[in-house]
Structure 1
Amino acid sequence: MARFQHTVTLAPVPRRWFESCVATLHDLAEDTDAEGARLRLPDGRPLPGLVLARGPHLRPGARYRPVNEESGEPEADQCVTVRAWDRRRETALEVVTVDGAPDHPARLDCALTLTSAERPREASLSVTLTPSDGKRDKHLGGTGRVHLDLDGWWRATGRGRHPSRAPLTGTLTHAYARVGVTVVPRPAPDGRWLVTVKIRAGGRSFARPLVPLAAALLGRRARRACAESLDRAAETWNAQVPALVHMDAERLRAELTDALLGARRAHTGKE
């Protein structure tokens, strides 16, 4: 078993702002109208790059596809499906991408779940890679899962009683290896978050004894690379998040709308 631990300092995100952000995202989606396959933003402008391919807008079973910039036709190898859309209970989306490359054909399934939008308590993400190359399926496939206990996260960053379990956990499972990740925040004296990331990696099947060997040979270099990656991610977070959390709901909605239209402006060259 190989182990790694590193702590970074992050700018805090107020829970009230986060919940406002989630509500704004849902409002923007619900205020978007569907005219046949075409989607229009609340101000009437068409939403570029995405069409409604099946079902009523935002109802369970509704399916959306990105649009190919060159042909203007919906992409056949990627889709987003609404599995649940209930602000009081659960929002669930599934994203499927099929890669038909001759050398490594594969299917990637991603499922995102939020409970609930009115007062977010839990969020989870699962990813499954399923190669369709016969004998190599076992070697190239894998699954990943991330679970975030939002109630536990804000309890851990407060000054009261901390949760007994890590609020953010993840696993990555392959035929020959399994990686577990836990993320635990705690309040820093200056009000920021001290976030500790712990990683445990172990081999499976005949590769079980190889992970300790690899850790012994490459451990220092791997740990340094992981620490540097986390530090860079923290720098990006601290450079961008403080400005975002000072936005009110109206400004945030405008920024999200501009982001959705950004692809169109870049494609047409218009401002």
Structure 2
Amino acid sequence: MARLQHTVTLAPVPRRWFESCVTTLHDLAEGLDVEGAYLRLPGGRPLPGLVLSEGSHLRPGARYRPVNEKDGQPDADQAVTVLAWDRHRETALEVGTLDEDPAHRAESTCVLRLVNAARPREAWLSATLRTSGEKRSKYLGGTVRLHLDLGAWWPSAAGRGRRPLAAPLTGTLTHALARATVTVVPRPAPGGRWRVTVKVRVRGRSFARPLLPVAMAVMGRRAHRAFAEALDDAAREWNGRLPALVRKEGEELRAELTGALLAP
């Protein structure tokens, strides 16, 4: 088994601001006007690049597709499907893509679930990539599953909570040759920031099980360095963009999110 660990310091996301974002996104989606397959924001501005191809807007089973830039038709290989839409219970969306390449057909599915958008408590993300066609296609796919306990994240980031060592964010990554478990724990840092520790444990599977210890013995330092550098790069990106964004509230935040929806 291989073990990786690294800690980064991040600009914090205020809980009230995060909840405001979730509420605003629900308000924007529920405020869309539907004219046949076309969607319009309040005020009549069209929502570009997306059409309702099946079902009723925001009802379970509703399916939205991006518009193909070449011919202006809905893209049959991509879709966003509503699995649930109740801000007081659960919001769930599925994003699916299909690549019909004859050499290796690939199908990906990503599902995001959020419990109680009015007061977010938990979120799940699962993603699956399936491939077929070539003999080695099974080695190109895999699954990712993440669970975020939103009710525990901010107390942990503030140094409170009954179980200070429990991980509010956990996940698994499963591949034909390896399985990794991930834990993410935030703790308080000076200046109100977050000190976030990411731990990864990797176990080999199938014929890779006995090879993983050998690989780590040979490339262990390089793997640890690459892991740390990737997290440091992500932290710099986060810290460079987030502070200006979390200062936006109310109508300014709504305008920012609306602008993101209107972007090409």
Give CA-to-partner distance per residue, 1:68-93, whole Å, 9 cap, x none.
01110000101110000000000000
Match of 1:198, as an amino acid?
K
Within 5 Å, give how 1:91-102 maps onto structure 2. 91-102=91-102
In the alignment, which residue of structure 1 is the partner of 2:146?
146
In the alignment, which residue of structure 2 is the partner of 1:155?
155
Looking at structure 1, the residues matched to 122 and 250 of structure 2 have their Cα atoms a distance apart, in angstroms, of 22
In the alignment, which residue of structure 1 is the partner of 2:104?
104
Rate the CA distance shift 1:162–1:245 in 2: closer, same or farther, 3 A.
farther
Give CA-to-partner distance per residue, 1:219-261, whole Å, 9 cap, x none.
1111111111111111111111111111112111111111222
In the alignment, which residue of structure 2 is the partner of 1:4?
4
In the alignment, which residue of structure 2 is the partner of 1:21?
21
- The secondary structure found in structure 1 opposite 2:214 is helix
Gaps of 5+ in 1: 264-271
In the alignment, which residue of structure 2 is the partner of 1:79?
79
In the alignment, which residue of structure 1 is the partner of 2:31?
31
Looking at structure 2, the residues matched to 177 and 161 of structure 1 have their Cα atoms a distance apart, in angstroms, of 33
Looking at structure 1, the residues matched to 234 and 135 of structure 2 have their Cα atoms a distance apart, in angstroms, of 37
In the alignment, which residue of structure 1 is the partner of 2:190?
189
How well do the aligned residues superpose, as a CA RMSD in angstroms? 1.2
Within 5 Å, give how 1:123-142 maps onto structure 2. 123-133=123-133, 135-142=135-142
Looking at structure 1, the residues matched to 260 and 160 of structure 2 have their Cα atoms a distance apart, in angstroms, of 38
C-alpha displacement of 1:206: 1.6
C-alpha displacement of 1:161: 2.6
Match of 1:148, as an amino acid?
L
Q: Is the 8 A contact 1:21 1:249 kept in 2?
A: no
Q: Is the 8 A contact 1:82 1:92 kept in 2?
A: yes
Give me the identity figure in percent. Answer: 68
- The secondary structure found in structure 1 opposite 2:191 is coil
- The secondary structure found in structure 2 opposite 1:243 is helix
C-alpha displacement of 1:159: 3.8
- The secondary structure found in structure 2 opposite 1:49 is strand
Looking at structure 2, the residues matched to 218 and 156 of structure 1 have their Cα atoms a distance apart, in angstroms, of 34
Tell me, yes or no, if structure 1 residue 48 matches structure 2 residue 59: no
Q: Is the 8 A contact 1:54 1:64 kept in 2?
A: yes
Rate the CA distance shift 1:159–1:138 in 2: closer, same or farther, 3 A.
closer
Q: Is the 8 A contact 2:186 2:196 kept in 1?
A: yes
In the alignment, which residue of structure 1 is the partner of 2:251?
250
Match of 2:60, as an amino acid?
P
Q: Is the 8 A contact 2:107 2:130 kept in 1?
A: yes
Match of 1:119, as an amino acid?
R
Match of 1:243, as an amino acid?
A
Q: How many residues align?
A: 263
- The secondary structure found in structure 1 opposite 2:190 is coil
In the alignment, which residue of structure 2 is the partner of 1:235?
236
- The secondary structure found in structure 1 opposite 2:46 is coil
C-alpha displacement of 1:172: 0.6
